[in-house]
């Protein structure tokens, strides 16, 4: 691989913004990629993937390069040179790489790789929390899996197509996919590509949605004609899946505290041809109270630490704080208490997170079941999806039924 100066410089600029200004990696990369219209798809993927890689391995690379935050440009070039040396990429003859100690870099890598928090590049507190909740053995495997680059999985929109038809259409647009066994609507891209540019995407034939995430709507046992409330709908990844499973029949009420996310949901629903979704922003408790005892099905796709999706969002390793996890657990239990009241007798509720921590998952459900409101429910089944076992995001889901 030959390194191009303007691509390397754009990567260094992006890293400076992410590490030193605390901006979100996905937003910074999106902005960086708009900088030069002449960049082709290879150039763009070099910037995006290298930036994500160095974000993912920040702690390890900083230790090897012997640099500390806040990083100067010189420090960032040193971290970049670690990335190159460890990947066997020949360093160009630029002044920024003068005197790079290649043998020392490899030696320090071997030495640091003996310690999990360096090898897997996580903050001390997170390494301790993961090990205490999951046990050393599971956490070691899981953390390793969460450091792999996530595959791109899409969900065929059954309102408009089938996975087989979609695979053919994408093939004509130059994108090869494979079926995923046991995931009825999913296709996985054989190679990364900008699929948002395809006609198939613009026509609403699919959504990008991880395979584990596709398990959640399935878990809720929806049927056409039901009244379903998606209480933490966000931009609607799971709402759209619910609409497809309900064949556009019945009613889905999509709630969120952020109106702008619901606006995006509406845009996506239009593209997907999903007509049975009604969005409502939670501006007061009235919105919730009006729905008490009215829903056949309720989905709580709760806000969480996001530790199950680190492979697509490595930035979270550095942005997460122990206090945030503490607070989010309180929000989760509050949401369970309040939103479960929307389920009518005999109706069902799914509580789901993209976390792998028992304290956000099964322990929350057990806590809820022991409460006055929770006593009205019984736990029908639950599923823990680990990235190390599934190869996709880490997720948790529990199905509860109101007696
Ligand atoms: C895991 S995300 C949802 C992702 C979405 N369901 C999807 O599939 O694309 C959690 C959502 O909960 C929302 N949220 C946070 N606190 C909330 C609350 N108290 N009530 C309702 N929604 C809330 C957040 O804005 C966020 O969109």
pLDDT in tens, the chain (403 residues): 899 999 999 999 999 999 999 999 999 999 999 999 999 989 999 999 999 999 999 999 999 999 999 999 999 999 999 999 999 999 999 999 999 999 999 999 999 999 999 999 999 999 999 999 999 999 999 999 999 999 999 999 999 999 999 999 999 999 999 999 999 999 999 999 889 999 999 999 999 999 999 999 999 999 999 999 999 999 999 999 999 999 999 999 999 999 999 999 999 999 999 999 999 999 999 999 999 999 999 999 999 999 999 999 999 999 999 999 999 999 999 999 999 999 999 999 999 999 999 999 999 999 999 999 999 999 999 999 999 999 999 999 999 999 9
Q: Which of 303, 335, 340 to mutate to test the pocket of ligand 1 (most atoms within 8 A of CB)?
A: 303
For residue 235 and ligand 1, the question of a CB distance below 6 A is answered with: yes
Binding annotation for S-adenosyl-L-methionine? 256, 301
Tell whether ligand 1 has an atom less than 6 A from the beta carbon of residue 207: no
Ligand 1 centroid – CA 304 distance (Å) = 9
What is the reported pLDDT for 96? 96
Task: Report the nearest atom of ligand 1 relative to the CA of 354.
Answer: 1
User: CB 13: neighbour CB atoms within 10 A?
Assistant: 18
- Our CA dihedral for 162, 167, 169, 171, rounded to 10 degrees, sits at 180
Which protein residue has the closest C-alpha to ligand 1 atom 1?
303
Ligand 1 atom 4, closest CA:
234
Å from CA of 303 to ligand 1 middle? 5
Are 367 and 334 in contact, with CB atoms under 8 Å apart? no
The answer to whether the beta carbons of residues 394 and 308 sit under 8 Å apart is: yes
C-alpha 7 – ligand 1 centre gap (Å): 36
d(CA 391, CA 242) in angstroms, rounded, equals 24
Ligand 1 in contact with 328 (CB < 6 A)? no
Alpha carbon distance 157, 169 (integer Å): 13
Mutation pick for ligand 1 pocket among 232, 305, 338 (CB with most ligand atoms within 8 Å): 232
261 lines ligand 1 (CB under 6 A): yes
- Residue with the smallest CA separation from ligand 1 atom 11 is 232
Q: What's the confidence (pLDDT) of residue 1?
A: 83
- Does this model's pTM top 0.95? yes
Asked if domains 5-121 and 153-208 share a fold, the reply is: no
- Domains of the chain, residue spans: 5-121, 153-208, 214-402
Please report, in range form, the residues annotated as the binding site. Answer: 256, 301
Atom of ligand 1 nearest to the CA of 238: 8
Going from the Cα of 151 to the center of ligand 1, the distance in angstroms, rounded, reads 24
Residues designated catalytic: 354
Backbone angles phi, psi at 289, to 5 degrees: -60, -35
Task: Please state the ipTM of this predicted complex.
Answer: 1.00
For the 5-121 domain, the top CATH level (class) is mainly alpha
Q: What is the pLDDT of residue 225?
A: 98
Could you tell me the distance, in angstroms and rounded to a whole number, from the CA of residue 300 to the centre of ligand 1?
8
For residue 232 and ligand 1, the question of a CB distance below 6 A is answered with yes
Closest by CA to 354, choosing from 312, 309, 318, 324, is 309
CATH 3.30.70.1170, domain 153-208, yes or no: yes
> Three-state SS across the chain?
CCCCHHHHHHHHHHHHHHHHHCCCHHHHHHHHHCCCCCCCHHHHHHHHHHHHHHHHCHHHHHHHHCCCCCCCHHHHHHHHHHHHHHHCCCCCCCHHHCCCCHHHHHHHHHHHCCCHHHHCCCCHHHHHHHHHHHCHHHHHHHHHHHCCCCCCEEEECCCCCCHHHHHHHHHHCCCCEEECCCCCCEEEECCCCCHHHCHHHHCCCEEECCCCCHHHHHHCCCCCCCEEEECCCCCCHHHHHHHHHCCCCCEEEEEECCHHHHHHHHHHHHHHCCCCEEEEECCCHHHHHCCCCCEEEEEEECCCCCHHHCCCCCCHHHHCCHHHHHHHHHHHHHHHHHHHHHEEEEEEEEEEECCCCHHHCHHHHHHHHCCCCHHHEEEEEEEEECHHHHCCCCEEEEEEEEC
Measured from the Cα of 261, ligand 1's closest atom is 27
CATH placement of domain 214-402 = 3.40.50.150
Q: For helices 102-112 and 73-87, what crossing angle results, to 10°?
A: 80
Q: How far is the CA of 23 from the centre of ligand 1 (A)?
A: 21
Asked if residues 354 and 309 have their Cβ atoms less than 8 Å apart, the reply is yes
- Among 217, 218, 219, 257, residue to substitute to test ligand 1 (most atoms within 8 Å of Cβ): 257
């Amino acid at each position: 691989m030959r390194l191009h100066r303007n691509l390397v410089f754009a990567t260094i600029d992006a890293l400076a913004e992410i590490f030193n200004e605390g901006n979100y990696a996905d937003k910074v990369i999106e902005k960086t990629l708009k900088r030069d219209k002449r960049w082709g798809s290879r150039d763009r993927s070099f910037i995006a993937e290298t930036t994500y890689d160095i974000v993912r391995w920040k702690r390890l690379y900083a230790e090897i390069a012997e640099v500390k935050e806040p990083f100067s440009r010189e420090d960032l070039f040193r971290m970049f040179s670690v990335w190159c040396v460890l990947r066997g990429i020949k360093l160009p003859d630029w002044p920024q790489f003068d005197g790079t100690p290649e043998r020392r870099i490899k030696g320090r890598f071997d030495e640091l790789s003996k310690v999990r928090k360096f090898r897997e590049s996580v903050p001390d507190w997170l390494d301790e929390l993961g090990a205490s909740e999951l046990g050393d053995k599971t956490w070691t495997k899981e953390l390793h899996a969460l450091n792999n680059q996530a595959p791109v999985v899409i969900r065929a929109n059954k309102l408009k197509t089938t996975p087989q038809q979609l695979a053919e259409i994408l093939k004509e647009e130059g994108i090869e996919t494979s079926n995923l066994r046991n995931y009825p609507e999913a296709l996985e891209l054989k190679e990364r590509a900008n699929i948002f540019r395809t006609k198939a995407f613009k026509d609403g034939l699919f959504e990008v949605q991880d395979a584990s995430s596709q398990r959640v709507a399935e878990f809720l046992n929806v049927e056409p004609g039901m009244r379903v409330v998606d209480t933490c709908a966000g931009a609607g990844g799971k709402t759209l899946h619910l609409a497809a499973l309900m064949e556009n029949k019945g009613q889905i009420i999509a709630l969120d505290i952020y109106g702008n996310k619901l606006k995006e949901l509406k845009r996506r629903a239009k593209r997907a041809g999903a007509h049975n979704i009604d969005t409502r922003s939670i501006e007061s408790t009235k919105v919730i109270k009006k729905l008490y005892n009215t829903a056949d099905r309720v989905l709580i796709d709760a806000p969480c630490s996001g530790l199950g999706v680190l492979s697509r969002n490595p930035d979270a390793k550095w942005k997460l704080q122990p206090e945030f996890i503490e607070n989010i657990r309180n929000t989760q239990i509050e949401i369970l208490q309040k939103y479960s009241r929307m389920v009518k007798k005999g109706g069902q509720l799914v509580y789901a997170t993209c976390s792998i921590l028992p304290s956000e998952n099964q322990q929350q459900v057990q806590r809820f079941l022991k409460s006055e409101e929770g006593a009205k429910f019984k736990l029908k089944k639950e599923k823990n999806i680990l990235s190390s076992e599934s190869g996709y995001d880490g997720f948790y889901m529990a199905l509860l039924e109101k007696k």
